[in-house]
Amino acid sequence: MPPSRIVLREDYDAEALRRLARRSRDNRQTRRLLALAAVYDGMSREAAATVGGMDRQTLRDWVHRFNAEGPEGLTDRPRSGMPRWLSPAQMRELAEIVETGPDLAVDGVVRWRRVDLRRVIEERFGILYSERGVGELLKVLSFSYISGRPKHPGQDTPVLEAFKKTSRARSMPT
């Protein structure tokens, strides 16, 4: 028995899908659009699936999504993933801890590293994260890897300012 023909929406054609594929910033959506454009051109299901780098069944699934939702349906949907172990209140508290910075007397460090925050999370919330997991939490909280240079606790500010004022200015060689 020959495979049944794939029926696509009539409000698009191969050229329209290729135009959308050229403008798309999502590589996966582009491949799916080009595979469907091949179907519009009359290619077999297997050949069209090969164009999109997928198998026939996957192409069939994308055809159903395309027919139901249009080109927007060819993008990946957000995956739910595993829920965070920290509650929203704990996440806010962690953000405050990071924003405030460590106290040398209490935390024993002058700037936060992931390994230090891992220890703080375990002590404060009783939840054990990996260093990579702590990095993901910081990313969710919109903290970047860039941090200000820490100030040494024994640094004497008046001495530094006096040094800056008395240092000779360098002259540029001519």
Domain coordinates in residue numbering, the chain: 14-74, 81-146
Say if residue 1's pLDDT is above 50. no
pTM: 0.51
Q: What share of the chain is helix, strand, coil (3-state, %, to 5)?
A: 55, 0, 45
Answer yes or no: is pLDDT of 2 > 60. Answer: no
Average pLDDT score, the chain: 88
Residue 167 in this model has a pLDDT that exceeds 60: no
Alpha-carbon span 73 to 113, nearest angstrom: 41
Is residue 49 within 8 Å of residue 35, measured between CB atoms? yes
Contact 102, 111 (CB under 8 A): yes
* Confidence check: pLDDT of 88 > 70: yes
pLDDT of residue 81: 80
